[in-house]
Amino acid sequence: MILKERIESVELQIMRYLMNRVNLTEKEKYHYLNLEKGFEGEIKFDQLIENLQEEKYIINDLLLEVNNSFFQIDTIIILQGVIHFFEIKNYEGDYYLDSEKLYSVKTSREYKNPIIQLKRTETLFRQLLQNLNQNFLVEGHVLFINPEFTLYQAPMDQPIILPTQIKRFFQDIKKMPSKLHDGHRKLAQQLISLHQPNYPFTSIPSFNYEQVRKGITCVNCNSFSLLTKGWKCICSECGQEELISKAVIRSVEEFKLLFPTEKITTNAIHKWCKIVQSKQRIGYILGKHFKKVGNHRWSYYE
């Protein structure tokens, strides 16, 4: 049973929008692509554990705090006898481990060693469980999901699951019968209630309204080449059609995430969407889909 679904992090969503609307530096683009790749790996992992028949609770994307230290867990699987937690890596290509560090063979680029990250998480997770007076057995794993990943000099005694071992790992889990009781449910609920929704340490580049390109983007190909025709907007790049009202609402959601302190007003969204000529139309769409606060000139939507 999945108790907490996985969705894109706010950081990834914002970076997607910025990728489209701002000139990012190479480093920022690289960071964005890494986020995209990481998320893709996590989705692949979700598909993998979908067919696990055992009684289990699955909790995704938890950000927890213990003694002022934050730690993030990609996935927790609670089984009868053990809590597994996973750090999922979607690295592709040849890598090697050299004294505590992870390198790409091709580019020699150094990566954070996920085992060190995992050990930190494990320590903090155990502390948290202790604080909750829970003494379940905990096992952490770094799982490399990408079949095109090879790790040279991989130590044998480390909590690593390589692509060629994933199938066997889950077969072994299947061999252990699992029956959950109230204690498991209580633990799962406690963990979810402790989730911190706002990750304090993201690497989103700073930007302001003026820098950000305005206009509605194509829902299919992200281009700005949209024309309005009747009730629809049509992309001149890929031919995609979308109802204007839908496209405007989508753009409002983007605006809200990029500028959380700005008010959603007819003027602001008219300027933001750019291609919808009529202000009345924008006002009508906002009025239909959002809650109006205040009256006349100073009204805004939530």
Residue 9 or 20 with smaller CB distance to Zn ion: 20
Name which of 235 and 273 has its Cβ closer to Zn ion: 235
Q: How many residues in the shown chain lie near Zn ion by CB under 5 A?
A: 8
Which one, 94 or 241, has the nearer CB to Zn ion? 241
- State in angstroms the smallest separation of the CB of 236 from Zn ion: 8
| Contacts (CB under 5 A) with Zn ion, residues 204-243 | 218, 220-221, 223, 235, 237-238, 240
If the CB atoms of residues 123 and 223 are measured against Zn ion, the closer one turns out to be: 223
* String marking each residue 240-269 x if it binds Zn ion according to CB under 5 A: x-----------------------------
246 within 8 A of 230, measured Cβ to Cβ: no
Residue 172 lies near Zn ion (rule: CB under 5 A): no
Nearest distance in Å: CB 283, Zn ion: 27
Strand pairing category for 93-98 and 149-152: parallel
Q: Residue 119, Cα to own-chain centre: how many angstroms? A: 22
Rounded distance between C-alpha atoms, residue 283 and residue 25, angstroms: 36
Min dist. Cβ of residue 235 to Zn ion (A) = 3
Residue with tokens 């790749």, as numbered in its chain: 37
What minimum distance in Å lies between the beta carbon of 216 and Zn ion?
11
Each residue 70-99 as x (binds Zn ion by CB under 5 A) or -, in order, gives ------------------------------
Q: What is the DSSP track for 116-144? A: HHHHHHHHHHHHHHHHTT----EEEEEEE
In terms of CB distance, is 20 or 223 closer to Zn ion? 223
Indicate the residue among 147 and 239 with the shorter CB distance to Zn ion: 239
What one-character-per-residue DSSP string does 1-21 give? -EEE-----HHHHHHHHHHHH
- Supply the minimum distance, in Å, between the C-beta of residue 244 and Zn ion: 15
Q: How far is the CB of 237 from Zn ion (least distance, A)?
A: 4
For the record, the structure tokens of 203 come out as 């690497």
- State the residues that interact with Zn ion by CB under 5 A: 218, 220-221, 223, 235, 237-238, 240
